[in-house]
Amino acid sequence: MLFRSPASEPDRFFAKDPCVIRYRGRGYLYFSKQQIDNSGNDRFVIGIAVSDNLEDWEEAGEIRPEQEAEGRGLAAPGAIVLDGVIHLFYQSYGQFPKDYICHATSTDGIHFERDETNPVVVPEGDWNAHRAIDADVVAFGDELLLYWATRDPDLQVQMLGVSSARLDSGFHKSDWVQRCSAPILKPELPWEQTCIEAPAAIVRNGRVYLFYAGAYNCSPQQIGCAVSNDGIHFERISETPLLANGSADAWNASESGHPYVFEDEDGKTHLFYQGSPDGGKNWMISRAEVVFTKDGIPEIHPDIIQPDVTQPDIIHRA
């Protein structure tokens, strides 16, 4: 366990859905953070933590809902730095199933200006429920590819779709084009059960590697990977999880899920992911290093950071 954030309730930790970038020499971690209001209702904000070494993190702020399009909260961020500007893509929260992908920008990593056209991505087609969550983006050729999770019309099966916008656009609602008329990845393997979500993309040697979460939270959720030559049509690299949940007494006993892949300036590739030891009461974030074989197959470096959850906190709340 690398990072845990105190929740609103006593004796709980809550940090989910990691997203990491390097900006002006520092690491920025954006994550879903749960809050409980005075009426006992939960809502999500996006927490912000900063680090100089990707191991020791300090909370530095929050992004709270401001627009009607954002519903009762914000969650599941994905980010990219383009021409010195951070572009953050995230989902609205609390309007199920009418949650969609929004966009905001920042030049300091902490304060974000909302896109006035939010929500920027709302799925189309009779194969989905017109819901979009779990955004992630990657530059590929002259386009920005935005991957999202949606559900079937009966709201039972979670699956993935993709939209694109030109890199020289403003990434506003009118700039996005849906690139699929069916799921680009849907649950088919036994361990994926009825859910594929949380796409996390990286480009390597001209191919898009898409890490993803299989199965709903704590079912257990585990991490797989698929690869594509065009960013739209994917094939799994294996029929088994790339990163499984932990043993019964581990910090990630209930799941290793919701991945985010990040290539740092030194060329190392990191897989950030969430875990829970107790069926979702507590959520924490960890990191593993990904290495690629000569055949282009990603593997998890054996030195995965996951000490016992009884270790002292390494986070100081801002």
Cβ neighbours around 2 below 10 Å, total:
25
Cα dihedral value 34, 37, 41, 46, nearest 10 = -30
Cβ neighbours around 293 below 10 Å, total:
8
Structure-token pair, residue 98:
């009418």
Q: Which residues of the chain have pLDDT under 70?
A: 1-3, 6-10, 303-318
Q: Which helix (H) or strand (E) holds 104?
A: strand 101-106
**Rounded CA separation 50/20 (Å):** 10
pLDDT of residue 76: 98
Using CA atoms, how far residue 100 sits from 143, 157, 185, 264, 292, in Å, is: 21, 17, 19, 29, 33
Listed in sequence order, the residues at least 6 apart from 314 whose beta carbon sits closer than 8 Å to its beta carbon are 2, 3, 55, 56, 57
Q: Which fold has domain 16-300?
A: Tachylectin-2; Chain A (2.115.10)
Cα 2 to chain center, whole Å?
16
pTM of the predicted model as reported, rounded to 2 decimal places: 0.94
> Which residue is listed with tokens 């709980």?
12
